[in-house]
Amino acid sequence: MTNHVYRLSEVVGSSPTSVDDAIRTAIRKANQTVRNIEWFETQEIRGQVVDGDVAHYQVRLKIGFRVED
């Protein structure tokens, strides 16, 4: 087994539906331009309230991607 080195990048995903959807949106979009994404860590969850109800979710994530040899 080889040792791996990872880099971190921070992204923010958003969704009107759920926190889960906001996370998945962020990962899918980052995966279009970043290779070797292997994990994520949720940093912050926040949202927008309109007329007393949740209107939008935002999630700040750190994504870890393996540095190629």
| Distance separating alpha carbons of residues 61 and 6, to the nearest angstrom | 15
Domains along the chain with CATH numbers: 6-66 (3.30.1660.10)
Contact 36, 68 (CB under 8 A): yes
Q: What pTM did the predictor assign?
A: 0.86
Contact 22, 15 (CB under 8 A): yes
What are 56-66's pLDDT values in tens digits? 999 999 999 99
Give the side-chain half-sphere CA count within 13 A for 63. 24
- 10 Å Cβ neighbour count for 6? 13
Give the side-chain half-sphere CA count within 13 A for 35. 3
What are 3-36's pLDDT values in tens digits? 889 999 999 999 999 999 999 999 999 999 999 9
